Structure 1
Amino acid sequence: MKVIYTDKPGRERGVCYRLLSQFFGVIDGATHVVVEGEAPEIVEAYEAAGIKVGDQDAQEQPETDPRKMKVPELKEWLATKGIDFDASAKKEDLQALIPQE
């Protein structure tokens, strides 16, 4: 689970948001932590627990392999390649349209 410590919590699905000022310890189940702001005690606690701490920008790099893309990104990729698809197609059907290299 991705955990983001920030002053501006969001609502991204599958992400646990916490306020920077309310750090009470390492969250069980965290696999990646982003700290938006100065909070060395948070970084140190997670690193001591062996959990990766990075920045938001590094985590949000766009996927370049169409086989690993989420449906919206895959649809955009197919469209840029000029490949027609049914807008209601499931991920497996969209992946079948990826040209074999």
Structure 2
Amino acid sequence: NHNRKEQGLKMKTWLIKELNEGNLDFRKLEWMLFNLLIGVFRHLMAEILEAIDLFLMATRDTKRYILKERNPRTLQTLVGEMTFKRRYYWDKEEGTWVYL
């Protein structure tokens, strides 16, 4: 939430600067908004994936899967690189480490 406010303030500052200098055109505005929306998309996608991970933790077979740690994971997506956290488990049946 703090990061979004900071990003909004940067956007307003940039817009005012571009307007004052007579440099703001439709293409620049479109590009700036596009990049802003990509950032929002990545943030929301990470929140959704972490919520799914939380659901999987809460509904797992606790006798089979022992929670070890929460690790950052990075994916290459349609809108660029995205990092979120996932829980890592010991699978007692298979004798291996797994992500659910």
- Normalized per residue, which structure has more strand? 2
Both structures adopt the same fold (TM-score exceeding 0.5): no
The alignment's TM-score, normalised by the length of structure 2, stands at: 0.31
- Normalized per residue, which structure has more helix? 2
The alignment's TM-score, normalised by the length of structure 1, stands at: 0.31
